[in-house]
Structure 1
Amino acid sequence: MNKRITIVCMLLGVVMTTTAQTELRTETQVTASAGDHSPLWLNANHYGLSSIERNSGYLRAGIFHEADSNRTREWRWGYGADVAVAANFTSTLVVQQAYADLHWKKIRMTVGSKQQPMVHKNQELSSGSQTFGINARPIPQVRFELDWWTVPYTRGWVAFRGYGSYGMTTDDRWQKDFTQGHDRRTEHTFFHTKGGYLRFGPKNITFELGLEMGCQFGGTIYDHVSAPKIENDKGFKAFLNALTAQGTDKTDGNYLNSEGNHVGSWVAKLNIDQEKWNLGLYADQFFEDNSMMVHIAYNGYGSGDEAFLRKQSRYFCYDFRDALLGAELKLKAFPWANDFVVEYLYTKYQGGPVYHDITKTDGEHITGLDDYYNHHLFTGWQHWGMVMGNPLYLSPIYNTDHTIQVKDNRFWAWHFGISGDPLPGLHYRLLTSVQKGFGTYFAIYPEPRNNVSMLAEAAYHFPATSRWAGWHVKGALGMDRGELMGDNFGLQLTVGRSMWLNKKGKENRQ
Structure 2
Amino acid sequence: MKYFATIILLSISSVLFAQKSGFTPEFSTSFSSYASSGDDLPFWMTANQNGMFTMQNNTYQLLQAGLTRSLERDSAKTWGYMYGANFVYGYAGASDFQVNQYWAGLRYKWLVLRAGAKPEPIQYAGLSSTNGNMYWSNNSRPLPGVTLSTDGFIPFLFWKNWFSFKAEYQENFLRDNRYVMDSHLHHKSLYLRAQLPKNWSITAGLDHNVFWGGTSPDYGKLPGIKDYFRYILGMAGSKTALQTDILNAEGNTLGMYLLKVGKAYNNFSLTFYYNHPFEDRSGLEMANLRDGLWGLHYANVNRKAFLTDAVVEYMNTRNQSGSFHLVPDPTPTEPTRRHGRGRDNYFNNSVYRSGYVYQNRMMGTPFFIPNINSEGISTGFHSTRMWMQHFGLKGNLCTHLTWKTMLSWSRNFGQYGDPYPSPLNEFSFLAESRYHSSKLPFDVKFGVAGDYGDRFQKRIGAYAGIHYAF
* Cα distance in 2 between the residues matched to 1:364 and 1:268: 34
Query: What are the Cα deviations for residues 420-466 of structure 1, in whole angstroms up to 9, with x where unaligned?
Result: 02323422210000111101122200001100000001112232xx2
The answer (yes or no) to whether the contact 1:169–1:383 under 8 Å persists in 2 is yes
Q: What is aligned with 2:347?
A: 373
* Cα distance in 1 between the residues matched to 2:295 and 2:73: 32
Q: How far did residue 88 of structure 1 move?
A: 3.7
**2:384 aligned partner, one-letter code:** N
Q: What is aligned with 1:124?
A: 126
The answer (yes or no) to whether the contact 1:352–1:368 under 8 Å persists in 2 is yes
TM-score, with length taken from structure 2? 0.88
The answer (yes or no) to whether the contact 1:50–1:89 under 8 Å persists in 2 is no
Q: What is aligned with 1:232?
A: 222
Of the candidates 498, 502, 506, which is equivalent to residue 469 of structure 2? Answer: 498
Q: How far did residue 153 of structure 1 move?
A: 2.1
Does residue 246 (structure 1) correspond to residue 235 (structure 2)? The answer is yes
* Cα distance in 2 between the residues matched to 1:53 and 1:351: 39
Query: What are the Cα deviations for residues 324-382 of structure 1, in whole angstroms up to 9, with x where unaligned?
Result: 11111122237101211111111100111101167983322522111111110111111
Q: How far did residue 200 of structure 1 move?
A: 1.0
Q: What is aligned with 1:446?
A: 421
Of the candidates 436, 453, 465, which is equivalent to residue 482 of structure 1? Answer: 453
* Cα distance in 2 between the residues matched to 1:487 and 1:246: 47
The answer (yes or no) to whether the contact 1:373–1:380 under 8 Å persists in 2 is yes
Q: What is aligned with 2:311?
A: 341
Q: What is aligned with 2:213?
A: 218
Q: What is aligned with 1:25?
A: 28
Does residue 112 (structure 1) correspond to residue 106 (structure 2)? The answer is no
Q: Secondary structure at the match of 1:153?
A: helix
The answer (yes or no) to whether the contact 2:18–2:24 under 8 Å persists in 1 is no
Gaps of 5+ in 2: 1-12
Q: What is aligned with 2:6?
A: none
Q: What is aligned with 1:100?
A: 104
Q: Secondary structure at the match of 1:68?
A: coil
User: Does the C-alpha gap of structure 1 residues 96 and 348 become closer, same or farther in structure 2, counting only changes over 3 Å?
Assistant: same
Q: Secondary structure at the match of 2:381?
A: coil
Alignment of 1:45-194 (within 5 A): 45-51=48-54, 52-68=56-72, 71-88=75-92, 92-117=96-121, 121-128=123-130, 129-146=133-150, 147-154=152-159, 156-172=161-177, 175=178, 185-194=179-188
* Cα distance in 2 between the residues matched to 1:56 and 1:400: 23
* Cα distance in 2 between the residues matched to 1:82 and 1:419: 26
* Cα distance in 1 between the residues matched to 2:109 and 2:400: 34
Does residue 419 (structure 1) correspond to residue 419 (structure 2)? The answer is no
Identity %: 25
Does residue 196 (structure 1) correspond to residue 190 (structure 2)? The answer is yes
Alignment of 1:271-420 (within 5 A): 271-295=262-286, 318-333=287-302, 335-356=305-326, 361-378=335-352, 379-396=354-371, 404-420=379-395
Q: What is aligned with 2:9?
A: none
Higher-RCO chain (CA-CA 8 Å, sequence separation at least 6): 1
* Cα distance in 2 between the residues matched to 1:28 and 1:11: 20
* Cα distance in 2 between the residues matched to 1:477 and 1:27: 18
Q: Secondary structure at the match of 1:15?
A: helix
The answer (yes or no) to whether the contact 2:190–2:206 under 8 Å persists in 1 is yes
Q: What is aligned with 1:315?
A: none
* Cα distance in 2 between the residues matched to 1:235 and 1:377: 18
The answer (yes or no) to whether the contact 2:360–2:377 under 8 Å persists in 1 is no
* Cα distance in 2 between the residues matched to 1:65 and 1:251: 44
User: Does the C-alpha gap of structure 1 residues 85 and 254 become closer, same or farther in structure 2, counting only changes over 3 Å?
Assistant: closer
Query: What are the Cα deviations for residues 448-496 of structure 1, in whole angstroms up to 9, with x where unaligned?
Result: 1100000001112232xx2x23x11211211100001221211122222
**1:112 aligned partner, one-letter code:** G
Q: What is aligned with 1:35?
A: 38
* Cα distance in 2 between the residues matched to 1:231 and 1:353: 32
* Cα distance in 1 between the residues matched to 2:196 and 2:21: 37
The answer (yes or no) to whether the contact 1:131–1:213 under 8 Å persists in 2 is no
Q: How far did residue 89 of structure 1 move?
A: 9.7
* Cα distance in 1 between the residues matched to 2:447 and 2:59: 14
Query: What are the Cα deviations for residues 85-134 of structure 1, in whole angstroms up to 9, with x where unaligned?
Result: 2224998121111110101122111101111226xx42511110211221
User: Does the C-alpha gap of structure 1 residues 253 and 284 become closer, same or farther in structure 2, counting only changes over 3 Å?
Assistant: closer
* Cα distance in 2 between the residues matched to 1:157 and 1:251: 46
Query: What are the Cα deviations for residues 12-62 of structure 1, in whole angstroms up to 9, with x where unaligned?
Result: 885234455112111122211122421111000111112453222221111
Query: What are the Cα deviations for residues 197-228 of structure 1, in whole angstroms up to 9, with x where unaligned?
Result: 11112382101000112221111122xxxx3x
**2:465 aligned partner, one-letter code:** T
Q: How far did residue 257 of structure 1 move?
A: 2.5
Q: How far did residue 267 of structure 1 move?
A: 0.6
The answer (yes or no) to whether the contact 2:373–2:379 under 8 Å persists in 1 is no
User: Does the C-alpha gap of structure 1 residues 319 and 85 become closer, same or farther in structure 2, counting only changes over 3 Å?
Assistant: closer
Gaps of 5+ in 1: 1-9, 176-184, 296-317, 500-510
The answer (yes or no) to whether the contact 2:208–2:254 under 8 Å persists in 1 is yes
Q: What is aligned with 1:299?
A: none
Q: How far did residue 279 of structure 1 move?
A: 0.6
User: Does the C-alpha gap of structure 1 residues 253 and 332 become closer, same or farther in structure 2, counting only changes over 3 Å?
Assistant: closer
TM-score, with length taken from structure 1? 0.82
Q: How far did residue 290 of structure 1 move?
A: 1.2
